[in-house]
Amino acid sequence: MSESSGATPRLTLLRGDITEQQVDAIVNAANSSLLGGGGVDGAIHRRGGPEILEECRALRASKYGRGLPTGRAAATTAGRLPARWVIHTVGPVFSSSDDRSELLADCHRNSLLVAEELGARSVAFPAISTGVYRWPIDDAAIIALRTVSQAPSSVAEIRFVLFDDRALTAFRQAADSLGLPLG
Ligand code: AR6
């Protein structure tokens, strides 16, 4: 059995600001342009400084000329942030008529794959798609936690950083209903 398929990452939930996290990699809820936006994306670029945008532009000029597709993930430096890397992923916009849950799950799976390629041991996620993209927080929490708990990973700690009490409560309840132990 490979090292990565044997380990179970420690799962933690906390209320806070993802830009302040002392982890190897933080995940950004970006958009396909990779050129910044509001919400967590805006905060990461603002606090991380121009180096992040420079690397995003380089990704657009090379591998992702048409933008980063929804559900995919790509890494840059974290600039001035305490983390070493930012893993940018593009969540789906919520739709009540079209089930895009697999795309939201892909964001989590692909971000963890990129983290593994980087050699990151600790990764912090925001609640992807639950802001501007309007995904209901209770459902997003179930998808996020179920996906990371099922993805084989050599990452030692997966941390969800929730911006408000409502989101923290939703993630705690989701962990409880999925029977996931929290570290
Ligand atoms: N730390 C942790 N969580 C945060 C922070 C922060 N500093 N700031 C906001 N949140 P959103 P989306 C929470 O809108 O829904 C951007 O313009 C927020 O409360 O950032 O995936 C991008 O460029 C919410 O729960 O991302 C895209 O265009 C969660 O982060 C679009 O928004 C996600 O909210 C992506 O929309």
Write the CA distances from 134 to 28, 103, 173, integer angstroms.
16, 14, 19
pLDDT for res 78: 98
pLDDT for res 95: 98
* pLDDT tens, residue by residue, 59-99: 999 999 999 999 999 999 999 999 999 999 999 999 999 99
**Mean pLDDT confidence for 108-116:** 98
Task: Name the band, by pLDDT with cuts 50, 70 and 90, for residue 3.
Answer: very low
In-domain check, residue 4 = no
Ligand 1 center to 41 CA (angstroms): 6
Residue among 117, 45, 33 nearest 75 (CA): 117
In-domain check, residue 124 = yes
**Percentage of the residues of the chain whose pLDDT score is greater than 90:** 93
In-domain check, residue 165 = yes
Residue among 141, 122, 153, 126 nearest 3 (CA): 153
In-domain check, residue 67 = yes
Contact 122, 87 (CB under 8 A): no
Ligand 1 center to 94 CA (angstroms): 13
In-domain check, residue 183 = no
**Mean pLDDT confidence for 2-21:** 82
* pLDDT tens, residue by residue, 18-51: 999 999 999 999 999 999 999 999 999 999 999 9
pLDDT for res 5: 45
Torsion region of 162: left, alpha or beta (phi above 0 gives left; psi -120 to 50 gives alpha): beta
Domain count, the chain: 1
In-domain check, residue 109 = yes
Strands 85-90 and 25-30: parallel
Could you tell me the residue range of the domain that residue 64 belongs to? 10-178
In-domain check, residue 2 = no
Q: The domain that contains 87 carries what CATH number?
A: 3.40.220.10
pLDDT for res 152: 82
Our answer on whether the CB atom of 130 is closer than 6 Å to any ligand 1 atom is yes
Task: Name the band, by pLDDT with cuts 50, 70 and 90, for residue 2.
Answer: very low
Ligand 1 center to 28 CA (angstroms): 8
Our answer on whether the CB atom of 89 is closer than 6 Å to any ligand 1 atom is no
pTM higher than 0.85:
yes
Our answer on whether the CB atom of 104 is closer than 6 Å to any ligand 1 atom is no
Looking at residue 20, what DSSP letter applies? G
Measure the CA–CA gap between 154 and 141, rounded to whole angstroms. Answer: 22
Our answer on whether the CB atom of 158 is closer than 6 Å to any ligand 1 atom is no
Task: Name the band, by pLDDT with cuts 50, 70 and 90, for residue 155.
Answer: very high
In-domain check, residue 5 = no
